[in-house]
A and B are shown apart, each in its own frame.
Chain A
Amino acid sequence: MVNNYIIRFLFAAFLSIILGLLYMGIGRKYIARIRRCYAGPFYQSYIDVIKLFSKKSISHNWIMDFGVMMGFAGIIATVIFLPIGPFTVFPDMKGNLIVIMYFMTIGYLGMAMGVAASGNPNATIGIARALALMVGYEIPFALAVILLVFVNKSSLLADIITTQQGSILHWNAFRYPFAFVGSLIALQGMLGEQPFDAMIAPAEIASGPMVELSGKFLGFGFLQHGAQIFLETGIIAAMFLGGGTFLGFFSKQLFLYLITLSIAAVFPRYRFEDAVKFFWIIPTSLVLVQLLIFLI
């Protein structure tokens, strides 16, 4: 029984990493095509990760090792609660949205601990921006969650998916379009894509949190980002696009990710305080309008 759960957990973890990196590779190709170049093959991200783990790496103290691992583990631990198509690691848990929202912050906090211990001021600035940005996009996202909890009288993702079955028009994306758009903008912030990439800003603060990470640490950063793409697009896909079979779920995730990248490819970046203001005004009011419509 326990063995069974361990295998299921490992399956989910590896699936999230492998598919996340695949989405990353496809995304890079997609952005390159928007810019009229070709970029590398779609498996470029795997090559990058293997190369990074083969490099030597430098660690400043044990807190840095621990923090980077905690950031990675935090995201992987959240994947446990995500219903991946028809599959969940613990079938009885059914993916409580409140728990998922709590767990998602662990990844960022671990990353914050790790890079703050590296002692580079650029890293500290970067992670401070990332945490400030989180305050921004959590508001519209949490409001959208509250709306769906109201509608379904349940905070379980499994229940939310069940009510969307039947026809495409039953999807929450069509029933609550404003909330969907608000959550899409929040997704943009969660993934840290332009215009909300002030925390990375390579030309300004030298790639922010990653500034001091070398070799395997950056490799874990890559894996974390891959799993994060899988997780966050997965949550939105389950909340608004009705989950589905394995193939349907993955294509919905990829679709959401490509929407994000289409926006990212053509936008410059916000200052992070402007980004927070933007999150508090536009997507928040979109979701609030949807809430009002629902209540009336």
Chain B
Amino acid sequence: MEQKELIRYIEENFKYNKKIQKIDEKQFSITVEKDKILNILSFLKLIDFKQLALITAVDWIKENKFEVVYILFSYSHVQQILVKTFIDRDKPEIETIKTLWEVASMYERDVHEFFGIDFIGNDDKRPLILHNWKDKPPLRKDFDSLKYSNKIFGKFKKDEEND
């Protein structure tokens, strides 16, 4: 299907609250409420968006919200969809989608490690990339990376003797 037909089809058939925005010829975004995320993803999977490319998150610190983004791709429509939802920053919880895509388990582990978002139903919270991490998740906006780096790796001084 073309993008226009696709958007019309989604608007007609997916009944819950949503906001569809065109990004460019090949991709558009759908913003839904937090508890409808499984509905929209299973709906999109039915209309041939079979590949889950990525799960990631954005930290909107002023609005006190996390934006969780699911990127889907379809080989038959050659379209990319960004499914977005906002969750509360103080209680970052969202349902897991590992029942839909097995690979989501890995992405959720990654997002949990870097943003501290809990995926209800996904118990795999082992660290994936960071080594022996004890501080707050590093990709949150209130994490001061420079201060951290200076404290643990040592500040470089110009007049330091290099022996």
Q: Do chains A and B touch in the complex (CB under 8 A)?
A: no
| B contact residues vs A (CB 8 Å cutoff) | none
